[in-house]
Amino acid sequence: MISVVGWPLQLVSFSNSRLTFMNTGKQQKPVLTGQRFKTRKRDEKEKFEPMVFRDTIIQGLNEAGSDLDGVAKFLDVTGSRLDYRRYADTLFDILIAGSMLAPGGTRIDDGDKAKVTEHCVFTAEEDHAAVHSYAQVFNKLIRRYKYLEKAFEEEIKKLLLFLKAFSESEQTKLAMLTGILLATGTLPPPILTSLFSDNIVKEGIAASFAVKLFKAWIAERDANAVTSALRKANLDKKLLELFPANKQNVEHFSNYFNDAGLRELSDFLRVQQSLGTRKELQKELQERLSQECPIREIMVYVKDEMKRNELQEQAVIGLLWSCLMNAVEWNKKEELVTEQALKHLKHYAPLLAMFSTQGQSELVLLLKIQEYCYDNIHFMKSFSKIVVLFYKADVLSEEAILKWYKDAHAAKGKSIFLEQMKTFVEWLQNAEEESESEREED
């Protein structure tokens, strides 16, 4: 031992225990060197190669057999020692197809019965209830191991691209599983973009698969929930892409889905396509009006668009009214805006008359006028004058005006507008009675 009074202790060494102190003025804890200790690892994952992982999963599924509660319990417990994160694709391949899959969808171990299982989605009964039971297994597994969620989405997107490699029955069961899991929120709607791949679209597989998927989805929820999810995922405008390019039209889609018993989706697509078309039509109309294109030219354009997109007159007349009213910077003075509006609308009355040839179209226009005059306070006193102008210009018929007055008007400003129209309606009714009397005398 070496010690100098007043100096800090620098080194004390005992060769037998190899205990070393380093002190530079403050007390240090002893450090023991020269001996190794095993570190304790809690919940350490066993290291498996893919084939060992596969064999473990296959064995567990075969032992559980058709007891899906047993399957779910096995997967829950086994996840604490197997590396699900690393081998997620192998896990899901086996649970769905019964064996590992090669690129393209072929079974890697199809010839070796010891490396495949009969207890998987593809060997389940082709029945909604049976597939629903398997869907519950996936729901439980992903709730337990949240990190598998993204891997499962990637697995389903991959399998959708591999559809050609599966039998029709296997495609049906995968479609049902996907639809059920979309309904429960386990899968997000954007995974359906894999169905738009050319290799399955051109052979009709994508459309057939989609029909089965939507049926399962609707069976779990309802058509409104499905269409709402499609709209939120911006898939509503892509549904036509389920068909080859030469069949991507509303008529073919409607016939195909109607024949499959999915009229709700057929009607949904028609509405969505119509909305998209109307937005484009409105944009083009506003552009032509701003350029003051000849009325005849606008008429021809609108008629062509109606024919090409199968638009009804009722949709077009309301759109025309909106475009015409948006094309003007209106005067803020109530006493001047009526004169300005009548002059503008009189000029375009022939355009409106061309697309208000049906009673229903006339009522739509009347309601649009009522709504506009109510929402724009400077037009409150203009309503009756606009209606009379359109009557004289053959845009609105006597029958339509009387129908509106009696029971087809909207609630907005009802009392104000009915009072405005009272004198003119009485005149129409008297004229009608006189006309009937003259016909009786003849």
Q: How does pLDDT run across 292-324, given as a tens digit for each residue?
A: 999 999 999 999 988 877 778 888 999 999 999
Q: How far apart are CA 42 and CA 44, in angstroms?
A: 5
Q: Which domain holds residue 141?
A: 50-188
Q: How far apart are CA 321 and CA 323, in angstroms?
A: 6
67 with 7, same domain?
no
Using CB atoms within 10 A of its CB, is residue 45 exposed (0-12), middle (13-18) or buried (19+)?
middle
Please count the structural domains in the chain.
3
57 with 184, same domain?
yes
User: Which residues face 2 on adjacent strands?
Assistant: none
5 with 100, same domain?
no
116 with 86, same domain?
yes
Q: Is residue 381 part of a domain?
A: yes
Q: How far apart are CA 319 and CA 65, in angstroms?
A: 62
Instruction: Name the pTM for this structure.
Output: 0.61
170 versus 437: the higher-pLDDT residue is 170
- Residue 30's pLDDT is 53
17 with 77, same domain?
no
13 with 54, same domain?
no
114 with 75, same domain?
yes
Over residues 159-186, the mean pLDDT reads 96
Q: Is residue 275 part of a domain?
A: no
At 414, is the secondary structure helix, strand, or coil? helix
Q: Where are the alpha helices (DSSP H) in 103-237?
A: 128-144, 148-161, 168-184, 198-201, 205-220, 223-232
Q: Which of 103-112, 203-212, 244-253, 293-302 has the lowest mean pLDDT?
A: 103-112
Q: Is residue 211 part of a domain?
A: no
- Residue 29's pLDDT is 52
54 with 182, same domain?
yes
Q: Is residue 201 part of a domain?
A: no
Answer yes or no: is pLDDT of 1 > 50.
no
